[in-house]
């Protein structure tokens, strides 16, 4: 049985992530008290219906009961239930804005003397241990619901026994760096198509922009060294047993140079038969 434990900060998009898991065939249970997780896993493992893909959401909505999640995880291993943890988070500013816009009450609102900011800070502190245990971390601060669905689907559609999932991401530094990235490469040093009138309104997916970026000697030197670095690191990460590797490439707006390089790296890794995906976080944002 493939078991995914979904958790993370309140307001970070766990419900949308579960919807995505359900769409790709997972049997999903939301807001399960940690004390019931092991019993539920045993039922699934013994069921004649052969539930092969199961996702369980457990988080701070359970209040003090959430502390039992660590014992539950230990006991899952004892019964032979192999699980992976998907942790969702967002920046404090984004979470506070989402709660203000939705007018929903944060689970720790009462304990934080009615302050959303204090509630978010407290929850982040309480969840540090399980975040450190997570196999996958997705920061939803700057991605759309559709991008989140795409990320979750690509993570869990593949063979769970396959090697680690590599995710290549382009982004714009002006919108913030992706906190979940394992490796971040800054390509703002490369020639910028933004200052070319005919290229400004195009993206790195368009051939004229791609040609402009790749024809410079600076880019050629960068690509050679990027491939050398990544090719050296990949076997080391695989040998460590890492489940997910996120490689982020950033330029100023996330629309031109970073897109070209992220696509190039994606094709390079795919050619070596790694499980790899790519997305462009800020490509549709206005510069």
Residue 210 is predicted with a pLDDT of 97
Separation between Cα atoms, residue 54 and residue 56, nearest integer Å: 7
Q: Are 139 and 93 in contact (CB under 8 A)?
A: no
Token output for 265? 């790296």
pLDDT at 159: 52
Phi-psi sector, 249: left (phi>0), alpha (psi -120 to 50), beta: beta
What are the average pLDDT values for consecutive 10-residue runs of the chain, which has 287 residues?
94 93 91 94 82 91 88 94 94 92 85 86 94 94 89 76 80 93 97 95 97 96 97 88 89 97 97 90 89
* pLDDT value for 187: 98
Structural domains in the chain plus CATH codes: 2-161 (3.40.50.300), 166-280 (no CATH)
Place of tokens 């960068």: 222
**Residue 191 tokens, joined:** 């020639």
pLDDT at residue number 161: 45
* CB < 8 Å & 24+ apart, contacts of 117-121: 117/92, 120/9, 120/10, 120/11, 120/92, 120/95, 120/96, 121/92
Q: Which two tokens stand for residue 271?
A: 């050619």
């Amino acid at each position: 049985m493939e078991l995914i434990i979904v958790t993370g900060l309140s307001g970070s998009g766990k419900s949308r992530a579960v919807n995505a898991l359900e769409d790709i065939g997972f049997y999903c249970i939301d807001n399960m008290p940690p004390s019931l997780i092991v019993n539920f896993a045993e039922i699934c493992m013994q069921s004649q219906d052969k539930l092969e893909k199961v996702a369980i959401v457990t988080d701070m909505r359970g209040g003090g009961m959430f502390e039992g999640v660590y014992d539950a995880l230990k006991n899952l291993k004892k019964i032979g239930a192999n699980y992976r943890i998907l942790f969702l988070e967002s920046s404090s500013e984004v979470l506070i804005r989402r709660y203000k816009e939705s007018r929903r009450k944060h689970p720790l609102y009462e304990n934080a003397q009615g302050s959303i900011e204090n509630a978010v800070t407290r929850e982040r502190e309480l969840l540090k241990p399980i975040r450190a245990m997570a196999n996958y971390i997705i920061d939803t601060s700057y991605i759309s619901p559709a991008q989140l669905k795409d990320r979750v689907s690509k993570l869990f559609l593949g063979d769970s026994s396959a090697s680690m999932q590599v995710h290549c991401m382009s982004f714009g530094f002006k919108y913030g760096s992706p906190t979940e990235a394992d490796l971040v490469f800054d390509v703002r040093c490369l020639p910028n198509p933004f200052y070319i009138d005919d290229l400004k309104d195009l993206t790195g997916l368009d051939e004229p922009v791609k040609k402009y970026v790749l024809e410079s000697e600076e880019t050629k030197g960068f690509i050679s060294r990027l491939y050398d670095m990544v090719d050296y690191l990949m076997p080391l990460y695989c040998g460590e047993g890492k489940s997910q590797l996120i490689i982020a490439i950033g330029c100023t707006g996330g629309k031109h140079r970073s897109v070209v390089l992220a696509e190039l790296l994606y094709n390079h890794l795919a050619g070596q038969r790694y499980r790899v995906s790519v997305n462009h976080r800020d490509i549709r944002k206005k510069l």
